[in-house]
Amino acid sequence: PEAIPLEVLFEDKHLIVLNKPAGITVHPAPGNKTGTLVNGLLHHCPDLPGIGGEMRPGIVHRLDKDTTGCIVIAKSQEALVKLQIQIQQRIASREYLGVVHGAPKTTEGTVVGAIGRHPIDRKKYAVVADEQGRYACTHWRLLERFGDYSLLRFKLDTGRTHQIRVHCAHIGHPMVGDVNYSRCRKLPVELPGQALHAVELGLNHPVTGERMIFEAPLPGSFERLLKHLRLTNT
């Protein structure tokens, strides 16, 4: 356990929903044992150990280290199982806001492409042949255009590692600030990572069955980016 500040959007005895900041990994991994969201959760929720395993207690789904926004964590084994089923069966809904390079030619679309390890750089992922990866589907909708940049809203059918970032790069509109999948290094404003934010999470409460919708406010860096783009492209 570590005393890491957590922005709690909702909490009861069954689950907790957080607004994750950039720069924090969700759970420990080899070579990265401290400073994770799980370390902070173990300090905040002393009963969490043992739920779902030692390294990922309570973890229902993940967000990339530099992706911000809504993430739900289970506080009981029953809640963990039921919430994981909701993710798998698409009962839970996850929507993101992201700023990408370029301007899509249409106002909405769907990217379907299996995601697997990059054939050359094994630390990255890529759209690969169906038999070499896992099925992935991302829906997107254009919200605003800012010259050479666009604000998109994404809805996930699946939740593969780096899915939105890989799919955006695949269609020629990589995420602004993404050092792994974008060659464009010069940014309009300074960002702590890619401009990708999990803005909305919908789920059925694992015990009461009540439909719940959570929204996470945009981080300051994302707000500054949008303000700059709007001012310079009016």
Kind and range of the H or E run holding 215: strand 211-215
125, 124, 140: which is closest to 173 by C-alpha?
Answer: 140
Q: What is the pLDDT of residue 57?
A: 86
Right CATH for 8-232 from 1.10.10.10, 1.10.150.120, 3.30.2350.10, 3.40.50.150: 3.30.2350.10
Q: What is the pLDDT of residue 193?
A: 92
- Find the farthest-apart pair of alpha carbons in the chain and give their distance in angstroms, rounded: 53
For 171, list phi and psi in degrees, rounded to 5: -90, 10
Tokens 């974008």 correspond to what residue?
182
For 145, list phi and psi in degrees, rounded to 5: -115, 140
Instruction: Name the residues annotated as catalytic.
Output: 64
Distance separating alpha carbons of residues 50 and 19, to the nearest angstrom: 23
The residue type found at 212 is M
Kind and range of the H or E run holding 19: strand 15-20
Q: What is the pLDDT of residue 184?
A: 67
Q: What is the pLDDT of residue 29?
A: 80
Distance separating alpha carbons of residues 17 and 15, to the nearest angstrom: 7
Judge whether 42 and 48 are in contact, CB under 8 Å.
yes
Tokens 């969201």 correspond to what residue?
37
Q: What is the pLDDT of residue 50?
A: 72
Residues of the chain short of pLDDT 50, as ranges, are none
Tokens 């106002």 correspond to what residue?
107
Provide the whole-model pTM: 0.94
Q: Where exactly are the structural domains of the chain? A: 8-232
C-alpha distances out from residue 180 to 13, 126, 138, 193, Å? 38, 11, 19, 10
